[in-house]
Amino acid sequence: MARYISRAPKKPKRSKVIIFLNVLIGILTAAVIITAVGYWSGNRNSYYDRKFGDSTTHYNVERGEYSELVYDYNYDGGSIGMVNKGYEDLAAVAEYADAAFRHSAYEKAGDAEAAKVQRERMEKAASEAGIYSPEMSKIDSLLHR
């Protein structure tokens, strides 16, 4: 009987240091992945933790992008009623812009009662606008072109 002799080169033996380093790298990689998944899926940005007012809020008003302001207000704070400290005036501008748009739409549709409710919202927001009171006339001029 003939014996089969392999002609393939034999694998060199790995040293114990290399094996230890491979295991250590694997453990560290798993720890980083678990930490990253826990960080990204945490509740830090959950729906109920969001508040209106961030670095772009001032710029939206300065550029006259009231629709973005209203969107941010409704998405982040309006439905929950939470506003970051120092952004109360800007929240009032967003409330005014939203009410003014709705008031204009209801007036055009002929719904006087709904328009009156929106007018009251506008007046309340205008009284809370603080240093951003001039924005109210800009919003009105945009809606009544």
User: pLDDT tens digits for the chain (145 residues)?
Assistant: 667 776 777 777 778 888 899 999 999 999 998 887 776 665 555 555 667 777 788 888 888 888 888 888 887 765 556 788 888 888 899 999 999 999 999 999 999 999 999 999 999 999 988 888 898 899 988 887 6
Same domain, 66 and 84: yes
Same domain, 36 and 93: no
- The set of residues, in sequence order, having a beta carbon less than 8 Å from that of 22 and lying 6+ positions away, is none
Q: Which range marks the domain in which residue 107 is found?
A: 47-143
The answer to whether position 9 is within a domain reads no
The two three-digit tokens of residue 11, written as one number? 């694998």
Same domain, 112 and 95: yes
CA distance 54 to 70: 13
Q: Considering only CA atoms, which of 75, 49, 50, 45 is closest in space to residue 60?
A: 75
CA distance 91 to 72: 10
The answer to whether position 22 is within a domain reads yes
